[in-house]
Amino acid sequence: MLKLFGRLVYLAAMERIDCKKVWEDFEYDFSNCAEPLNIGHSIEKADKWFDEIQKAQGNTDIRLGIFLPDDTIIGDVALQGIDYKNRSASIGMGIAKIENRNKGYGKDAMTVMLEYGFNNVGIERITANTLEINIPAQKVLEKSGFVLEGKARRSVYFGGRKYDKLNYGILIEEYKAR
């Protein structure tokens, strides 16, 4: 199995059992409410998620698990909506357990996936979106070289309020200049 190594984590294909583990381990961070709270999702939904990943894998998406050196899966990272003609994609990432967040694992996974996207897939522009209240995501994106390109003002209704969606991007030239 292909493994892409970073300093702290490695990325590899997720098996069905890995999807279930990420699904079971996911903890909602009530102190940083930046995504919808999905109440009532059963473990069987992890099987559907795995099937969706397999259907899109290599076509429109490249989704890999984020693993610690001891082979524990802690999350996932994905190039999504890959447009091979225009050489662009978006990136998204999640770390399941709160205890594994803010330890550099996400930044390391982002670095590895950017390298793979730019150097192996042929992507020349990668975008990412996050809510204005998701400060940890903004920090990872900015430390990874993403530039804030704009915002969709009051475009997301979440938790009884409207928030700006921040639009980030990084070009291959910016990546290589780092």
Domains of the chain: 3-177 (3.40.630.30)
Summarize pLDDT for 65-119 with one digit per residue, the tens: 999 999 999 999 999 999 999 999 999 999 999 999 999 999 999 999 999 999 9
What CA–CA distances, in Å, run from 145 to 43, 102, 122, 124, 134? 36, 18, 18, 14, 17
Pull the structure tokens for residue 14.
């997720």
* Single pTM value for the model: 0.93
Contact indicator for 134, 34 with CB cutoff of 8 Å:
yes
Can you state the angle between helices 135-143 and 105-116, rounded to 10 degrees? 50
Q: What is the pLDDT of residue 33?
A: 65
